[in-house]
Amino acid sequence: MRDPELILVTLSAFFIVLLAGLLFSAIFRRFKLPWSVTLIFAGMAIGPSALGLITLEGNQVIWFLAEIGIIFLMFLAGMEIRFSAIKNVLKEGTIVGIFTGIIPGLLGAGVMLAFGYSPLVALTIGIILINTSFAVVVPSLEAKGILQSRVGKIVVSSTVLQDIASLVLFAIFLQFVNPDPFLPLPLWVIVLLFTLAGGVIVKFLMPEFRKEVKEYEKAHRDRDLFEGELRTIMIIVLGFAIIFEFFKFETIVGAFFAGLIISESVRSKMLEHKLHILGYGIFIPIFFVTVGAWIDLSLFLDKDLWLLIAAVAVTSMVAKFVSGWGSGRLVGLDNYESSIVGLTSVPQLITTLALTAIAQSQGLLPDEVAIAVIVLAIVSVLIGPLIMGRVLDMKYPDKN
């Protein structure tokens, strides 16, 4: 039965979330803050521990929309990857990815143990800190014309490997922590491999399927071709998310791999534009605002939290830069190029927040640890691109 009160509460929360995201984006645009960071701030402002304009407890609709947002976020992150553009530097990218993933992960786990947290929490943080959000510095590299250079391709390939490794390891880790009684681990791994193999098959079938869609649209005199392809892609994305969630691989892993599969098949800029409008226009902002609204601001009054935040942030960012610079030198890059590799490894945002949200919802991370990782994500995407811009200007001052 239709419940007018429930509809009013839900629509009001939906309206407030979108409005807050829009207003904060407009207000903070002059400060050149990353869009995702402004949305997190918006959530903190309207959340239960600040203005209290929305409440997340029991609001299943907002949580559902946030889940769609995280699925879209990981799907679009996967779509940004073109394996054809990085296949020539996979060896160098693998070396850089191993160093910039494992070293920060181990040091992050060590920080958790030093603060007295359990090995389970330490391992969770170690896996989360493997990844790097290279996308936030892409505009800087593109503006200087070095994204397609050797160093640019090495950075992209290493980032791809880190994201894949952290997502797969996280899925396996969850299976160890909360094993499926109906799907033992060996069988679980086999199902995962078959699922990924099915994704590869879908990848090869995509061109033929798109051809059939075009023929169907043409036969029915339907000019709505992009909408037809858009629905097709949405079916694939949600299908992968459902399959991965059913086998306890997590929806974000399925969405990311769906993006990887579709990335080489979608060549229409118009279609990509529609996907970005749908994702970044509605659902993704809800996820970021929800992350901010979840944060309990009263915890920031505890000085121990600030010590934890400082330890996590400094350890992760320094480890990312040093391991990136060192591995860059190891694969034959000069000091300047190696510095670029190190700086592009510093930001952690999309996958970090996604894994943190899931880990916290699964009870694997205490609230203060989750908050420390969220603050790390905010600080790293503020500092990383800023320093990167200064370093690039040292060598390319005429291309601002």
What does the pLDDT look like over 63-81, one tens digit per residue?
888 889 888 888 888 887 7
The DSSP call for residue 221 is: T
Please report, rounded to a whole number, the percentage of residues in the chain having pLDDT higher than 70: 83
pLDDT of residue 141 exceeding 50, the answer is yes
At position 4, the amino acid (one-letter code) is P
Q: Report how far residue 324's alpha carbon sits from residue 154's, in angstroms, rounded to the nearest whole number.
A: 11
Q: What tokens does 168 get?
A: 């797969």
Give mean pLDDT, residues 265-285: 81
Half-sphere exposure of 216 (CA within 13 A, CB side): 13
Per-residue 3-state assignment (H helix, E strand, C coil) for 188-220: HHHHHHHHHHHHHHHHHHHHHHHHHHHHHHHHC
pLDDT of residue 145 exceeding 60, the answer is yes
Instruction: Specify the pLDDT at position 118.
Output: 94
C-beta of residue 163 within 8 angstroms of C-beta of residue 77: yes
Q: Report how far residue 138's alpha carbon sits from residue 277's, in angstroms, rounded to the nearest whole number.
A: 20
Instruction: Specify the pLDDT at position 357.
Output: 87
- Which one has a higher pLDDT value, 143 or 258? 258
pLDDT of residue 108 exceeding 90, the answer is yes
**Closest by alpha carbon to 124, among 352, 400, 380?**
352
Radius of gyration, alpha carbons of the chain: 21
Give mean pLDDT, residues 121-147: 79
What does the pLDDT look like over 152-183, one tens digit per residue?
888 888 888 888 888 888 888 887 887 766 66
At position 320, the amino acid (one-letter code) is K
What does the pLDDT look like over 200-232, one tens digit per residue?
676 666 666 556 655 655 665 555 555 667 787
pLDDT of residue 198 exceeding 80, the answer is no
Instruction: Specify the pLDDT at position 206.
Output: 64
Instruction: Specify the pLDDT at position 127.
Output: 93
Comparing 15-19, 28-32, 344-348, which segment has the lowest mean pLDDT?
28-32
Burial (CB count within 10 angstroms: exposed 0-12, middle 13-18, buried 19+), residue 134: buried
Instruction: Specify the pLDDT at position 85.
Output: 64
Comparing 111-125, 223-237, 294-308, which segment has the lowest mean pLDDT?
223-237
Domain 4-399: top CATH class? mainly alpha
Q: Report how far residue 19's alpha carbon sits from residue 11's, in angstroms, rounded to the nearest whole number.
A: 12
pLDDT of residue 399 exceeding 50, the answer is no
Q: What is the mean pLDDT of the chain?
A: 82
What does the pLDDT look like over 376-390, one tens digit per residue?
999 988 887 778 777
Give mean pLDDT, residues 342-370: 88
Confidence bin at 400 (pLDDT 50/70/90): very low
